[in-house]
Chain A
Amino acid sequence: MSQPILSPVHYSPGLWRLAAQRLWSDAIGRYSFLVVAGYLLVVVAVLFGWVAQDWDREVAVNYAPPSGWVTAANRVVVPPSTLVVSGPVPLYGWTDPLEPQWSQAQTYARTASREAPHYLLTLPFGADKWGRDVGKKLLKGTQTSVWVGLVSALVATLLGTFLGALAGYYGRWTDDALNGLYGVLTAIPYLLLVFAVAAVFQQKGVGTLILILGLTGWTGVFRLVRAEYFKHRSREYVLAAGALGASHGRRIWIHILPNVSHIVLVQFSQNLVGFIKSEVILSFLGFGVPVSSVSWGSMLNEAQNELILGKWWQLAVTAVAMAIFVTAVSLLTDAMRDALDPRLRQ
């Protein structure tokens, strides 16, 4: 977006500046924006490795309960297991084939015993089954889930906008073909479609997740963008651009797109919430992130077994973090819609 030229006499702010002003003056819009920005900061911080890099280290005893401050008295020193054998083992004339490895292991055991590991008895957010800090896991899990949601929403929005623009602008057989594809994808319930695609991709991982969600989730954006292009393609400004010799591509991407971009933005944030919920379900069922990683879904999966033992903290922390983010994005979406299109406001 080019910045409008500001002069004291003719001050006419652009759509985005106006929308940003409206969003900021709305209390709900402002606070939800700040919360979402906070989460994005966490994502960036974890992605660049500033925090929670050591989320999978054992720092506490199993299921250390949550408690306010960690003090020195809160530590327990675990005596290192000794690998020293009491006496020589009779070998009956054979040479021990494992002798080098065995002596090396004993050396390790001796050096390790000097720095006896001490485990925390409590942590601010508690610990999981392996004594990992739930707080750090939450940061890492937030990063995974929000990142997957962001990138797959980006993929889906770009794909939907691209196809929707082509279908809406060109009409005729382009529209028929793309609309047919839309009809096929929407004839299958969303979650079933996601499962079917997940069954086909054998490899687990963040990349696969993004691919699954992005490739199946573009239909909503497509429908709206297509309808907008239908409306805009015969408006005067587009006809004028055509008369001035603007090519089809220029008319689609330079002239019309900025005029429908607010719809795309709102769809993006709506998809973000939907995809994060899908990621959580997929990861929970074990079709999502691999075991070596952690996301909100895999944390809820662990929490399922912990709950029976009465260890509620991982569930509570994950559920609250997720609920806050989803609420904030939903409210921000509504506020953005109001700010970008004041006519809709009721």
Chain B
Amino acid sequence: MNGLGFFVRRLGQAILTLLGVILLVFVLFNWVGGDPATILAGKMASAQDIANVRHQLGTDRPLWEQGLIFLRQVLTGNYGNSWATQEPVADIFRSRLGPSLTLLIPMLLLETGVAVTVALLVAALRGSWFDRGVRVVSTVAMSVSLLVYILVGQYVFAYLWGWFPVKGWSDSWRLNLTTYAVLPILLGLLVSIAPSIRLYRSFLLEEIQQDFVRTARAKGLSEMRILFVHVLRNAAIPIVTNVLMGLPGLLTGAFLLERFFAIPGIGREIILAVERSDFPLIKATTVYVAMATLLVNFVGDLMYRWLDPRVRLE
């Protein structure tokens, strides 16, 4: 019974928050952003042209009417056409999602695996030269801008040494995964792995100092088993939370990676949309990503119970 009440309350909260996001997006784009018609009509537009564009966009209607239209768009999932290309926004999403996922799913899996393993080793060997080395390297690695990694990586590995294609994409996902996505994935890992290791290390350290670890050692269990079974299971909640928090990012893609490597994903599309003042696309993305975030948080709450029976859902 308790679980059901929790479920309903969280669902209500999520729906309220989503309404808030819709309101925020509406206020931003229809009220603050106002009227991009003067930009979209071009440089030599007459008053007549601007009025025409305004009429096409629907920005000449009263605000409450625009609000209703937007609400209907959210409910039906039909956000109309892109202002820049006249392509339906839904089609843009459908065609750009694949490349983004091809890039980001392997990245998420690799990052989690590598970061957890390194963090375990570092936590087990805390205070040793290995621990200090990893700490120094990851502090330095975190201080360098993502832009610099991409610029230098693309130049050295792809352009100078020719190990990878400089940029590009194909229609076959197998080819993409083995050729075009490799360098972006590696560079993305380089950037995201240092903060994850630091974070996971602190989670794991907290568990390693607990009494149950000493008990497990006293029982004569192997260090491997203690680390990967006992400690990891207990530190699972914060780690899973962190991974889950990264999931909605899949929808927006890695903006910069997609832009630099000419990967036709959602992140690149958003940057283009910001450049072109293509409001429908940005509005749709923001609402979709917020939906995904709320859903993930919701699922996460339920998963905690499964991971750790001690957690009470309240």
Binding site for B on A (CB under 8 A): 180-181, 183-185, 187-189, 191-193, 195-202, 277, 280-281, 284-287, 296-297, 300, 303-304, 307-308, 315, 319, 322-324, 326-327, 330-331, 346
Contacts and interface: CB of A to CB of B under 8 A. Distances in A.
Contact of A187 (B32, B274, B279, B294): B294
A184 B20 contact: yes
Given A188-B290, A307-B152, 15 more contacts: A183-B17, A183-B20, A187-B18, A187-B293, A192-B286, A195-B271, A196-B282, A281-B147, A285-B274, A300-B151, A308-B155, A308-B159, A315-B151, A323-B144, A326-B144
A327 B270 contact: no
Given A315-B151, A319-B148, A196 B142 contact: no
B273 interface: yes
Contact of B249 (A183, A189, A326, A331): A189
Interface of B: 13, 16-18, 20-21, 23-25, 28-29, 32-33, 36, 39, 139-140, 142-148, 151-152, 155, 159, 205, 248-249, 252, 255-256, 259, 270-271, 273-275, 277, 279, 282, 285-286, 289-290, 293-294
Contacts of A315: 148, 151-152
18 contacts: A180-B20, A183-B13, A183-B20, A187-B17, A187-B20, A187-B294, A189-B249, A189-B252, A189-B289, A192-B252, A195-B271, A200-B33, A202-B277, A281-B146, A285-B259, A285-B274, A300-B151, A322-B144
A280 to B, nearest CB: 6
Contacts of B285: 192
A192 B283 CA distance: 11
A327 B143 contact: yes
Tell me if B's interface is mostly helix, strand, loop or mixed.
helix
A70 to B, nearest CB: 28
Contact of B32 (A195, A200, A307): A200
Nearest to A287: B274
Nearest to B156: A307
A286 B275 contact: yes
Contact of A189 (B16, B39, B248): B248
A192 B155 contact: no
A173 to B, nearest CB: 14
B152 to A, nearest CB: 8
B59 to A, nearest CB: 13
A188 B289 contact: yes
Contact of B33 (A193, A199, A326, A331): A199
Nearest to B140: A327
Contacts of A277: 145-146
B269 to A, nearest CB: 11
Nearest 8 Cβ contacts at the A-B interface? A184-B20, A200-B33, A327-B143, A326-B143, A187-B290, A199-B274, A319-B148, A183-B17
B148 to A, nearest CB: 4
Contacts of B33: 199-200
B139 A285 contact: no
A202 B290 CA distance: 24
A184 B24 contact: yes
Contact of A307 (B24, B139, B151, B277): B151
